[in-house]
Amino acid sequence: MDSNRDETPVPRPSAAFSFEYKHTHVGRHRIHYIEEGSGKPVLFIHGNPTSSYLWRNILPEVARATGGRAIALDLLGFGASDKPSDVDYSLDLHATIVEGFIEELGLEDVVLVLHDWGGPLGMRYAGGHAKNVRGVVLMETFLWDTSWKDFGSFAPAFRLLRTPAGRFLNRTMNLFVNVILPGSVAERDHLTPEIMQRYRAPFPTLRSRKAMAVFPALIPIAGRPEASRRFFDELDKTLKALVCPVMWIKADPGAIITSNTEYRLIALSARLPQLTIRRFGRSLHYLQEDNPGRVAGMIVEWMRENGLVASTSRPPDLRKAA
């Protein structure tokens, strides 16, 4: 594994979200997205309980430094996308939304940047449409059937969240935003009151929090639930079709990939021999809030190394990437 650490003081992330709100329809659902730049697309996909807002300090720098069209969508049930209460928010539905979004925008030769649930959803697309994906960046995600020991001290909380009572608490107390999000960054003072309010804003009611509350029950743990196991089995079968460059940004100590679960990356390397693992430095789960400049810098550097940038693009601002 590559060692790539930087102890330079980290600037606070900006709370500003000065993007034009854009929408497209996938089936009957309106999906919100933001974008900047032109050229070949770089698509950012978030997880739970975030949205395109997670990428606000990263997307513009990647677009500027690579000469590409950087795009971030809000998954169904998140951000400014529709939040229907009459759907089950299954993994198959989310995967259909991602595939439909790419088709609706006519995105070709895509680089995927994936975090949390964005990982399996994006990789499901990549494995099934390998010819349309020219690179993948992964961070704090999972592509496998997990086990309870993977969750360490968080196992009791996730056991609760997978029960009806836990889902009710999640919806009534907005637990993922109010508790899990601030507890999953290394620099808690970076999550200013303004940033936290922006993360709360998409979920003002119990009904609006349905997708967020459903996701914990969809994590495949020891083969359950069955539908999730099948989803991840299918994802694994398609990985062999993926021959493009892949980078995993590994946080220290991390939350999903920790010292106890790093063996998962070793196993993944056997499935994806083109996988490169880069060390991020100090962070837990939400690297984008701990040090967005470093996330952007690592993506740009890796894209340059693999010939995935426009010849007219400008080099990254190393001060921002510190």
- 49 preceded by a cis bond (ω within 30 of 0): yes
Radius of gyration of the chain (CA): 18
In the set 35, 74, 116, 145, the catalytic residue is: 116
- CB proximity list for 266: less than 8 A, separation 6 or greater: none
Clarify whether 29 is annotated catalytic.
no
Contact 5, 281 (CB under 8 A): yes
Quickly count: other Cβ atoms within 10 Å of residue 204's Cβ.
Answer: 10
Quickly count: other Cβ atoms within 10 Å of residue 106's Cβ.
Answer: 7
Clarify whether 285 is annotated catalytic.
yes
DSSP string covering 112-162: EEEETTHHHHHHHHHHHSGGGEEEEEEES---S-B-GGGGGGGHHHHHHHT
How far apart, in whole angstroms, are the C-alpha atoms of residue 215 and residue 121?
12
Quickly count: other Cβ atoms within 10 Å of residue 293's Cβ.
Answer: 21
In the set 140, 150, 289, 290, the catalytic residue is: 140
Clarify whether 226 is annotated catalytic.
no
How far apart, in whole angstroms, are the C-alpha atoms of residue 33 and residue 51?
9
Contact 215, 141 (CB under 8 A): no
In the set 82, 94, 285, 301, the catalytic residue is: 285
Catalytic residues: 116, 140, 285
